[in-house]
Amino acid sequence: MATATLTIDLNALTSNWRALDAMTACETAAVVKADGYGLGADRVARALANAGARKFFVAATEEGAALRQALGPGPEICVFSGHMAGDTDMISDLQLTPMLNSLDQMLRHFEALPGAPFGIQLDTGMNRLGMEPHEWAAVRDIAIEQGPTLIMSHLACADDPEHPMNPHQLAVFREMTDGLDVPRSLAATGGILLGPDYHFDLTRPGVGLYGGMPYVEATPVVTLDIPVIQVREVAPGETVGYSNTWTAERPSRVATIAAGYADGLIRGMGGEAWVHAGETRCKIIGRISMDMIGVDITDATSDPASVELIGQHQSVDTLADWAGTIGYEILTSMGARYYRRYKS
């Protein structure tokens, strides 16, 4: 096989959901936007539904439509982007719950689908989605009369437990919602870890389900094994790859592996990144190109058939650190060319 194998451990995924659920005394939903963080929303969501999740969150109505086809009737599917123009038929036909973000969305939903389920998203300081305090004050009574299923907001700095933005947003959320007889949600993965004050009636873990930070105790979900196409001898002074960025300082054995930036392996991490050939740590050398990467396997005990980029030795967050990004980007960039193998 000339493409990498992405192994997705659904047992690890559901174990993470159960562990996060056990940290709270409220309902635990699951965020499966961006095709289940790149891992296949259909397979991910069905596994989580079998584990007990009954509420799912996606980014857009189109994602919700695909998820409904995978899950069938029953589980609630909430759409973070709300009720956008052109979404009405899908929301109605597929029983989706938009998180309304503005007065315009409220009017669109109430006029087009009177009596249909909806939630409300409030902005507590992130300045991304949701109604600001003054907007909410103007429409709160009207919205509550229509019976929202949920009022939510989103924390901007939950991955930093000491950040003052966390208690600030908590206070604003309470000011905007205390006394309302509606279920509330503020915490995603990071918010769960901040403790009970942030849990309210529903939590919405996302990246922690998939083995990412800030949930350091998560069970790894993803393994990425990349096949070796060719191994060659490289003499001292010879170079490898585009622009001659790596020069051999000793007699070396160099493996060319079958993945690159077209598979979501960020080009900028090349100078820092490593793979494993068995238990031997091997340096990625030269430029990461579109379909191939060079690896110095001189210290490996034998020429490997494949190397491990993500797995027991290093996580998606390890790669993210090398690339100067976050684990979310690594997960959601996983290439379409990978052969995907699901363990359950």
Q: One of 198, 242, 261, 343 is an active-site residue; which one?
A: 242
Mark whether 37 and 63 lie in a shared domain.
yes
**Predicted pLDDT of residue 287:** 94
- From 182, 210, 238, the end of a domain falls on 210
CATH number at residue 251: 2.40.37.10
Asked about 210 being catalytic, the answer comes back as no
Residue with tokens 């998203």: 121
Determine the average pLDDT of the residues in 90-109: 97
Q: What pLDDT digit, counting tens, does each position of 192-241 carry?
A: 999 999 999 999 999 999 999 999 999 999 999 999 999 999 999 999 99
Mark whether 70 and 182 lie in a shared domain.
yes
Q: What is the pTM of this model?
A: 0.93
Mark whether 163 and 277 lie in a shared domain.
no
Tell me the pLDDT band of 332, cut-offs 50, 70 and 90: very high
Considering the domain boundaries, does residue 263 fall inside one? yes
**Predicted pLDDT of residue 336:** 87
CA angle 325, 331, 326 (to 5 degrees): 20
Q: Are 113 and 95 in contact (CB under 8 A)?
A: no
pLDDT at 33 over 90: yes
Asked about 339 being catalytic, the answer comes back as no
Considering the domain boundaries, does residue 180 fall inside one? yes
- From 210, 241, 266, the end of a domain falls on 210
Q: 150 Cβ partners below 8 Å, 6+ apart?
A: 78, 97, 99, 119, 120, 182, 183, 184, 185, 201, 202
**Predicted pLDDT of residue 2:** 80
Tell me the pLDDT band of 127, cut-offs 50, 70 and 90: very high
**Predicted pLDDT of residue 1:** 60
Mark whether 127 and 248 lie in a shared domain.
no
Mark whether 120 and 50 lie in a shared domain.
yes
The residue range of the domain holding 325 is 222-343
Q: How many distinct structural domains can be found in the chain?
A: 2
Q: What pLDDT digit, counting tens, does each position of 54-89 carry?
A: 999 999 999 999 999 999 999 999 999 999 999 999
Q: What pLDDT digit, counting tens, does each position of 138-171 carry?
A: 999 999 999 999 999 999 999 999 999 999 999 9
Q: One of 33, 37, 210, 261 is an active-site residue; which one?
A: 33
Considering the domain boundaries, does residue 162 fall inside one? yes
